[in-house]
Structure 1
């Protein structure tokens, strides 16, 4: 029932060119997008259709020696998968299959009509699976190449000039010119998890880079954020919030770097995040995720030179700008173990004056001297400033 006679096979072989021509005529009449393709692409698709019909006849004649249906697509370059989608390709396969299914039975003896229909449908099924396999391999190759480009861009942020960083990032698909935030986290991600993470990032921001390195992952986010933004929020704030949400989803320890002006200057944010991740064991009570700026004391103790610059700029400088009474009050209060009365006696002021000055510092600088963690930050910042002043 599933074998054709020699006359039937001979008839199919003699008329296979007609089957190809009729199939391409049907394709051209059915699909507007096909008619809009460049001539080279249409020629390649015609070659695929021709080889497919030829292989069908060969397969009918000798199935044990037939080549894999995947070979049908060998006459078209891999780049064609980027021009014609899988859905479009399957549509082409169905259309050619319909023509062969209509015309092939008319070419064989009447008692073999059903047999040739079964053979056409069976071969068409295999071709459909072969097309899906070809596109899956192409997508995997594109994904692997894209991942390599993203890793190269991330490496450039750590080692290369800002101009090289911008070039590498553009090669990896980065398009925006807005603020950037880097995230470093502990997470073991397989290919599927990375794909989900990439999809999540692209749902929040317009640009992202992901680099998996053993048990850790680096994420760089930037560009326009997707929805939910308030008018009073700056682009940097929105990107930072998106980075924090992504870091939360990693499920492990994660550090969010400071906002950088653009991707060319993303190296500072990335180095801060990585330094924070290394220093994280020094603060066992740290939340997750945590911002790299909150780990400045641990980063300093870990030997991060960038932390010196950052703690002076972000902690000490605002305190220093408030004036000597406030800086001296904070320094004295911290040196005396957080005692209001002892600080007041040392400075010859009332305890309420000390309390007022500490409150003003908390409002202006953002670090509360009466909080143990903030006190550590302020104390270290003052010590660093003194050391830098001594060196100068």
Structure 2
């Protein structure tokens, strides 16, 4: 029976095919790194302007890059983790201090320095081999650079998304404080004078795509936004315009079908909770006004909000409609009440009041001047009627 043949163990210490070139490359690594830094100082103004600490980190990256190339040349058949070897020497904060363009310039400069020294470093006859190895390494280091910055951008994006969600949730829940303002500032919010909150239903699908669509619409409308999807709601805090309806129309595209409500304009992020509460109450009450426009202002839904139990809406109707009419004189309240009871008939109201129809017409114009709501408009008449009811109830209970 023949004896089994034994496979010889692989030679783990195989000699390098170009030992002299490898030796020269190892001896020249420090010199090449110094030459690369010197050329950066000559050719890259941003490098000269950097603080010494950052320049020292760049120096370490350049040295690590040349050392990694040496290892690459030593073991060309073994995959190398270049991004770890090269960029792992620098702190994570360096990707914030140095842009991707600057990093590309730094890598290009280092590669050019090594390439210019090939004739000196390579052993006779190995110039082509070393140049080809450098070409492959340059490709790999380019991919590694892109990966490092992509990972940094992804990490920043995920962190920013969480930070933005915290700010939006704080505003909607009524917990906005100076901490929320500080977090918003970190996201680029520069405290615009006019802020409005817009609420609606979030579309199905990836919420990140919805948020990005809101941002694109905001850039087009020259608005600042903080936005997020909270449950089924899409929340947008917009700054830069004192016209809430204009803001809502500019941003309405990414919202799902259904009502979209814009809260009142407020002065800053700290008071945006008031706008958010009004918008949320309006969104809840929209079912009572099927023909409401889209988008609609929360203040246009005051009667529905009041009947749905919103105390703010009730207070506004009493304070902004009933009380001014009461202070303007009993005649206005009486005329408005009779006019509304008489199905908005000037003649019928005049007969009930024993006055000329022109007197009724004049008093109704005064009602419009005092309250901003016109009794001759069907929607405004409904709002005025609810305000009268709430005002009488408040008066009876002694709150007025």
Q: Could you tell me the TM-score, scaled by structure 2's length?
A: 0.84
- In structure 2, the residue matched to 1:167 is 179
The yes-or-no answer on 1:300 pairing with 2:306 is yes
Give the whole-Å Cα distance in 2 for the aligned partners of 1:307 and 1:251.
25
- In structure 1, the residue matched to 2:10 is none
Name the CA shift for 1:190/1:155 in 2 (closer, same or farther; >3 Å): closer
Q: Secondary structure of 1:67's match?
A: coil
- In structure 2, the residue matched to 1:184 is 199
The yes-or-no answer on 1:237 pairing with 2:242 is yes
Q: Secondary structure of 1:373's match?
A: helix
Deviates more, 1:312-321 or 1:280-289: 312-321
Give the whole-Å Cα distance in 2 for the aligned partners of 1:53 and 1:6.
18
The yes-or-no answer on 1:90 pairing with 2:104 is yes
- In structure 2, the residue matched to 1:334 is 340
Give the whole-Å Cα distance in 1 for the aligned partners of 2:173 and 2:202.
23
| Cα distance, 1:111 vs structure 2 | 3.7
Give the whole-Å Cα distance in 2 for the aligned partners of 1:64 and 1:313.
82
| Cα distance, 1:364 vs structure 2 | 4.2
Give the whole-Å Cα distance in 1 for the aligned partners of 2:197 and 2:385.
27
What whole-Å deviation, never above 9, does each CA across 1:343-383 have from its counterpart, x for those lacking one?
Answer: 22222223333333333433442222222221211111111
1:247 to 238, 244, 251: 251
Residues 134-153 of structure 1 aligned to structure 2 (within 5 Å): 134-153=148-167
Give the whole-Å Cα distance in 1 for the aligned partners of 2:178 and 2:387.
33
Q: Secondary structure of 1:75's match?
A: coil
Give the whole-Å Cα distance in 2 for the aligned partners of 1:211 and 1:198.
11
What whole-Å deviation, never above 9, does each CA across 1:156-192 have from its counterpart, x for those lacking one?
Answer: 334456xx52332123204437332222122336324
- In structure 2, the residue matched to 1:70 is 83
| Cα distance, 1:241 vs structure 2 | 6.0
What whole-Å deviation, never above 9, does each CA across 1:248-296 have from its counterpart, x for those lacking one?
Answer: 3434432111122332222111111122122222222112221110111
1:112 to 105, 119, 126: 126
Residues 195-206 of structure 1 aligned to structure 2 (within 5 Å): 195-198=212-215, 200-201=217-218
Q: Secondary structure of 2:227's match?
A: strand
Name the CA shift for 1:124/1:316 in 2 (closer, same or farther; >3 Å): farther
- Root-mean-square deviation (CA, aligned residues, Å) is 2.7
Q: Is the 8 A contact 2:214 2:251 kept in 1?
A: no
Q: Secondary structure of 1:78's match?
A: coil
Q: Is the 8 A contact 1:154 1:209 kept in 2?
A: yes
2:262 to 256, 260, 269: 256
1:325 to 317, 320, 331: 331
What whole-Å deviation, never above 9, does each CA across 1:21-51 have from its counterpart, x for those lacking one?
Answer: 1111111211122122222211211111111
- In structure 1, the residue matched to 2:4 is none
| Cα distance, 1:297 vs structure 2 | 1.8
Name the CA shift for 1:23/1:196 in 2 (closer, same or farther; >3 Å): farther
1:368 to 369, 374, 377: 374
Give the whole-Å Cα distance in 2 for the aligned partners of 1:4 and 1:28.
36
Q: Secondary structure of 2:242's match?
A: helix
Name the CA shift for 1:132/1:328 in 2 (closer, same or farther; >3 Å): farther
The higher radius of gyration belongs to: 2
Give the whole-Å Cα distance in 2 for the aligned partners of 1:365 and 1:131.
64
Q: Is the 8 A contact 1:247 1:254 kept in 2?
A: no
Q: Which runs of 5+ in 2 are unaligned?
A: 1-15
| Cα distance, 1:335 vs structure 2 | 2.5
Q: Which runs of 5+ in 1 are unaligned?
A: 226-235
- In structure 2, the residue matched to 1:125 is 139
Give the whole-Å Cα distance in 1 for the aligned partners of 2:88 and 2:395.
71
Give the whole-Å Cα distance in 2 for the aligned partners of 1:159 and 1:69.
47
Give the whole-Å Cα distance in 1 for the aligned partners of 2:345 and 2:17.
100
